[in-house]
Amino acid sequence: MNFSSINPYNGKTLAEFAVWDADRLKQALDRADRATADWRGLDLEQRCVFLRKTATVLRSRRDDWAKLITLEMGKLYKEAQDEVDKCAWVCDYYAETADQHLGDELIESDAGRSLVAYQPLGVVLAVMPWNFPMWQVFRFAAPALSAGNVGLLKHASNVPQCALAIEQVFREAGLHEGVFQTLMIGAGQVQEVIEDPRVAAVTLTGSEPAGRAVASAAAYQIKKSVLELGGSDAFVVLEDANLELAVSQGVTSRFLNAGQSCIAAKRFIVVEAIAEEFLARFKAAVEDLVPGDPMDPATSLAPMARSSLRDELHRQVADSIAAGAVALSGCAPLEGTEATYQASVLDRVAPGMRAYSEELFGPVAIVIRARDEADALRIANDSPFGLGGSVFTGDSARGEAFARRMQCGCVFVNGLVKSDPRLPFGGIKRSGYGRELACHGIREFVNAKTIWVR
């Protein structure tokens, strides 16, 4: 069995890599185990020096890493450059703030001195997806490594070159041998790694089935897990919204990365009073998107990562149309391309349709019309997912009040949902549990140890 690196735009195979056997995996686990004591034994500031060097390595070869991302998973080259920049940012962020997040916390009690010390758990396995092949990894690795943990990466099988490049970045930054390793293993080998007694915890970003499998394996071993799963984020437009802003933010949020983002705007919930005007503007902006080669600066709609993903997306769309949804724009594969789907708007989506209850992971905006604000809130919360959401209104206080009632991990008022190293990120319901980034993220894989001294 091999991992194949395939260009989604033209279908050409770029490289192939053999899947590791049991002996190769054992060697990697041995290295991680040996690295654990030395890495956690470094002063926090020493570990942060390595993070700063990692940011420097990322920036020094930014265009090389970005080109690799584009060729291997298909996103626009400019978006790939932004992704590399964001990876450097999260390294710098934790290099600057880790001491604030992990310093001893003094607490008054009946002791002469009592405190909470934050100490690393050990080896952490990260099972990561292909859609942001570097950012997803660095947003786990930067906090985990700065806290003194050792990282193992099992990346998605369609981005093996990105997976190896990430290990190379850390190696060039001078990290000790075994502190961060890419495991070239298949999905069937993940449980074996989780079961290894030297592995302390696991984090996964991916699908619900993968999340259930990893969480079950970790729970059986009584090990900590963090899950960031799918999302069907609501993008609510109230009657007093700035429509120009809502349209521009909506197009960016839905069609960035060809719509292949857990926190993309998926469900456009628009109150009837302004629905027609919003949709006229939105449809025109969507139809201005230009599909093509993601390396071409003129392209504004990238291909999807695999033709199989495009085919499944179209089945969801076609089934919803058969159930009564209206194809306002697009809603079909782009003929003559390997994996491109037309930028699409699917109107009049209602309960009972696949588009209403399922996550559409691609460049399709579904529109659900609401009677008023109360109805919009009901629809926004009528989802098994709870990752992110946004609301657009001319009254920021009204927007904040609405946001507090939305059932999800983050809400952006008059802005698109995004991850930011300074803010905690994660979901509720079937979107997973636990948090990444900010203080909350760095404390997911540490032992909050109480120390009581007479």
DSSP 374-431: HHHHHHHH-SSEESEEEEE-S-HHHHHHHHHHS-SSEEEETS-----TTS-B--EETT
Contact criterion met (CB below 8 Å) for 305 and 130:
yes
CA–CA dist 145, 192 (Å, integer): 23
Count Cβ atoms within 10 A of the Cβ of residue 324 and give its class: 0-12 exposed, 13-18 middle, 19 or more buried: exposed
Number of separate helices (H) and strands (E) present in the chain = 15, 20
**CA–CA distance, 75 with 48 (Å, rounded to integer):** 31
- pLDDT for 393 equals 98
Strand (E) positions, 65-223?
105-106, 113-120, 123-127, 150-154, 180-182, 199-205
Measured distance CA(248)–CA(81) in Å, rounded? 21
The pLDDT assigned to 305 comes to: 98
Largest CA distance in the chain: 75
User: What is the predicted pLDDT for the residue at 87?
Assistant: 98
What per-residue confidence (pLDDT) applies to 216? 98
Cα(347)–Cα(324) distance, integer angstroms: 9
| Residue-level pLDDT, tens digit, the chain, 454 residues | 799 999 999 999 999 999 999 999 999 999 999 999 999 999 999 999 999 999 999 999 999 999 999 999 999 999 999 999 999 999 999 999 999 999 999 999 999 999 999 999 999 999 999 999 999 999 999 999 999 999 999 999 999 999 999 999 999 999 999 999 999 999 999 999 999 999 999 999 999 999 999 999 999 999 999 999 999 999 999 999 999 999 999 999 999 999 999 999 999 999 999 999 999 999 999 999 999 999 999 999 999 999 999 999 999 999 999 999 999 999 999 999 999 999 999 999 999 999 999 999 999 999 999 999 999 999 999 999 999 999 999 999 999 999 999 999 999 999 999 999 999 999 999 999 999 999 999 999 999 999 999 9
Q: Measure the CA angle with vertex 383, ends 351 and 220; round to 5°.
A: 130
Cβ pair 134, 65 in contact under 8 A: yes
Look at residue 1 in the predicted model and tell me its pLDDT: 76
Helix axes 44-60, 77-102, angle to 10 degrees: 170
Neighbours of 271 (CB within 10 A): 20
Contact 77, 193 (CB under 8 A): no
**Cα distance between residue 102 and residue 147, in whole Å:** 7
pLDDT for 148 equals: 98
Active site residue: 83, 167, 228, 338, which one? 228
Task: Read off the pTM.
Answer: 0.97
Query: Shortest CA distance to 370 belongs to which of 281, 248, 237?
Result: 237
Instruction: Based on the residue annotation, tell me whether 262 is a catalytic residue of this protein.
Output: yes
* Three-point CA angle 75, 389, 238, nearest 5°: 115
Identify the active-site residue in 262, 331, 408, 410: 262
Q: How far is CA 44 from the centre of its chain?
A: 27
Domains of the chain plus CATH, in order, are: 2-229+431-453 (3.40.605.10), 233-420 (3.40.309.10)
A 10 A CB-CB count for 380 gives 25
